[in-house]
């Protein structure tokens, strides 16, 4: 799929971080939509058909893993890769993230290049 057709949703409760990731991805010709937190993420995921989702694990009200848990069983979400990004870095945290359905689990501080690399990897698979 050409890079300019790869719609990726960035779910991050910190607007500055979301925009930084999104801008770096746009430079690589991704189409990026940003969701500020879990409620807007759930709504956006229900409406859009992204090629991939970059999902912050630690968000207020509902964790990113809970979003993943609820969205993964949806038929249209079953094959969409989710890249989870988190400060939680213990082996059990990473295992839980992957078991919940993350395609890739990155630990913070993850650079924009780390996130772009993970997105490109899951989209190439």
Q: What is the pLDDT of residues 76-106, one digit of tens each?
A: 888 899 999 999 999 999 999 999 999 999 9
Q: How far is CA 97 from each of CA 4, 49, 81, rounded to the nearest angstrom?
A: 29, 22, 13
DSSP label at residue 43: H
Question: What's the pLDDT score for residue 5?
Answer: 62
Tokens, residue 44: 């956006």
The arrangement of strands across the sheet holding 31-35 comes to 31-35, 7-11, 52-56, 82-86, 104-107
Question: What's the pLDDT score for residue 42?
Answer: 83
Residue carrying the six token digits 């991704």:
30
Question: What's the pLDDT score for residue 1?
Answer: 47
Question: What's the pLDDT score for residue 61?
Answer: 82
Give the residues of the chain that fall short of pLDDT 50. Answer: 1, 3
What is the CATH classification number for the domain harbouring 81? 3.40.50.2300
Q: Which domain holds residue 85?
A: 3-124
Residues 6+ apart with CB under 8 A from 13: 36, 37, 38, 56, 58, 59, 60
Q: Residue 125 and residue 117: Cα distance in Å, rounded?
A: 12
Residue 121's CB: how many other CB atoms inside 10 A?
Answer: 14
The total number of structural domains in the chain stands at: 1
Helix (H, G, I), strand (E, B) or coil at 48: coil
pTM over 0.85: yes
């Amino acid at each position: 799929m050409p890079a300019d057709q790869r719609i990726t949703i960035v779910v991050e409760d910190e607007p500055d971080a979301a925009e930084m990731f999104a801008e770096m991805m746009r430079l690589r010709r991704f189409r990026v939509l940003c969701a500020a937190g879990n409620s807007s993420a759930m709504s956006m995921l229900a409406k859009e058909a992204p090629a991939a989702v970059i999902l912050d694990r630690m968000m207020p009200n509902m964790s990113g893993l809970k979003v993943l848990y609820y969205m993964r069983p949806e038929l249209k979400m079953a094959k969409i890769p989710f890249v989870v990004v988190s400060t939680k870095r213990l082996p059990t945290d990473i295992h839980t993230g992957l078991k919940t359905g993350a395609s890739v689990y990155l630990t913070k501080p993850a650079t924009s290049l780390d996130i772009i690399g993970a997105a490109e990897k899951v989209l190439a698979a």
